[in-house]
Amino acid sequence: MAGKQRLDKILGHLGYGSRSELKKAVKLGLVTVNGRVATDSGMQVDAEKDAITFDGARVHYREFIYLMMNKPAGVISATEDTREGTVLDLLEPEYASFDPFPVGRLDKDTEGLLLLTNDGQLAHRLLSPKKHVPKTYYADVAGMVTEEDAAAFRRGVTLDDGYVTMPAELRVLEAKDGASRIELTIMEGKFHQVKRMFEAVGKKVVYLKRIAMGPLPLDETLPPGAVRELTSEELESLRMAPSDLGQARNG
């Protein structure tokens, strides 16, 4: 976000307070710009070039935020909903002030890895059908998942609406006593796709958790509902992955 903007807009965007709170902070002399005490919360500053401090601490400006959430069951992957709690309701104000949105969606009852960002370009790259970014899930399945099912998934299965899925990699972790534990990697993201794929082979998903998106695995130390910022290495891997995967699939 290059160029000059109002001081209170920049500080508000970074979560330092509301416009009225920032006006008070400026009146109290808590804000400096390039070493001088700010006298007007509406003054025009360039956040990328001017040195801003708030209550003695340097303000580090950034335009984008990249968050990993371990989505809990019971909340929906949306920015707002009049009846249901959303993943944004779980964010601290310091993150919510960036107006992030979920990259793709997980069903209400599905847990696991969800990316949130305000970087529309990266989100588009990760969600583009042309890129085929893989998504990996862990699932508990009612029924004995077999190698025949895995072979069917590798070929592509026909969903209830007639759509034939792209080849998917199904790994059976355990199958006994009429129940199975599996991991499944798919290259697309149709509505309720994992559940519908198992329905196509006569099985039912009873628990579902996304454990990876492209090269990014879920941080298993994150409790359900918790978020953390991506590391620079994780972010770089995501930026590289879509184009690499797209070329690999098309090559």
For the chain, the domains span 5-58, 66-129+216-250, 135-213
User: Residue 106's closest CA among 68, 78, 67?
Assistant: 78
The pLDDT of residue 48 is 80
pLDDT of residue 242: 55
Architecture of domain 135-213: 2-Layer Sandwich (3.30)
Chain position carrying tokens 């969800």: 114
Which fold would CATH assign to domain 5-58? 3.10.290
Between the alpha carbon of residue 115 and those of residues 43, 86, 120, 185, 196, the distances in Å are 35, 14, 12, 17, 23
This prediction has a pTM of 0.80
Domains 5-58 and 135-213 share a fold: no
Strand, helix or coil for residue 135: strand
Tell me if the domain spanning 66-129+216-250 has CATH number 3.30.70.580. yes
Angle at 208 between CA 192 and CA 149, to 5 degrees: 75
Cα gap 65→79, rounded to integer Å: 15
Residues designated catalytic: 107
Backbone angles phi, psi at 12, to 5 degrees: -65, -40
The token pair at 111 is 């847990």
Ranges of the chain whose pLDDT falls below 50? 1, 243-251
